[in-house]
Structure 1
Amino acid sequence: MNKEEIIRDLEEVVIDINLILNHEFSTELNMKLSHNQQMVLFLVGTRGVKHVKDLAYLLNISTSAVSQIVAKLEKKEMIEREIDPNNRRSTILKLGHEGKELLKRLDKMRNTIFQKYLAEMETADLKNMRDTFSKFREIIIEKKNEGDKS
């Protein structure tokens, strides 16, 4: 098997894993939030993203689309907006009470799902998988940064 065939096989496996986990992880949540709403909540709550323009960049959607998403999440008390003390013309996003509660439940659910499957693997395989995916992430970031510079 040559390198291109292995890459195609890996692509298939990654897509299959993503679809399976997405279905298992999202079933309850899909009734409450759209995919982009989930991503905004996740990015604000776990990655510390605080500004609409940064969310728009990460999600590859317009700032007005992010503003609409944030407004809907605000109505559900999942996101709050505050005036940025360093720049009064800017707003900072943070999790609201309902957003914090939902992210706690989602974190517990994610941990349960990953434990269920990954606990079946040998420690050496898990370490290899972790190292391989970390290297893959580094390559993606490096190539993306090269593209951003050109």
Structure 2
Amino acid sequence: MKDVEEIIPHMRELGRVLVKYNMVERKAFDFGIGIELYPSEIHTLSAIDALGGCGITDLARESGVTKGAASQLVSKLVKKGLMLKEPDPQNGSKVILRLTELGKKASENHYKYHLDHDSEFIDYLRSMSEEELEMFDDICSKMNDWMDSYLK
């Protein structure tokens, strides 16, 4: 096992990445619809698009946020005309979230944006062996647990 002093430079590099990620999370982008959306907003649209419509609980679980946070995002996106809340035909006390045509276009453009903008990193991941990808997934999982410890 390595000494802590040997690990510190790696932790600093990770810290620089997390700082930059935090900056990206605060930046709004226009995904070709004339409305600037923050990453949390476009990722909410993309999650609903991927699920083919869903309820708040499923959206929160898919997005890794609380139901309250998901509900707040949904309200913003409904006001922006990107999402609809429809009554659930099987349970009148629940709603089904669906994208409007504009919301669907934003989600599709977001996907295309990542294919283009992130192609170099995607290709890097694609070049990894199964064992390397498993290690990458394990590191991400450990980091996720690590960040959860700060949020308790």
Normalised by the shorter chain, which TM-score bucket? 0.5 to 0.7
Q: Deviations over 1:45-66 (max 9, x none)?
A: 2356722355467345546623
Cα separation, partners in 2 of 1:117 and 1:135, compared to 1, 3 Å:
closer
Contact 2:31/2:109 (<8 A) preserved: no
Aligned to 2:72: 65
Of 30, 47, 56 in structure 2, the residue corresponding to residue 28 of structure 1 is: 30
RMSD over equivalenced CA pairs, Å: 4.2
Q: Deviation of residue 9 (structure 1)?
A: 1.9
Contact 1:80/1:94 (<8 A) preserved: yes
Aligned to 1:82: 86
Of 133, 138, 143 in structure 1, the residue corresponding to residue 141 of structure 2 is: 138
Give the TM-score taking structure 1 as reference length. 0.63
Cα separation, partners in 2 of 1:9 and 1:47, compared to 1, 3 Å:
farther
Q: Deviation of residue 143 (structure 1)?
A: 6.7
| In structure 2, distance between residues paired with 1:81 and 1:122 | 37
> Could you say what secondary structure the match of 1:2 adopts?
helix
| In structure 2, distance between residues paired with 1:143 and 1:19 | 16
- More helix by proportion, 1 or 2? 1
Give the TM-score taking structure 2 as reference length. 0.63
Q: How many corresponding residue pairs?
A: 141
| In structure 2, distance between residues paired with 1:119 and 1:107 | 16
| In structure 2, distance between residues paired with 1:9 and 1:141 | 17
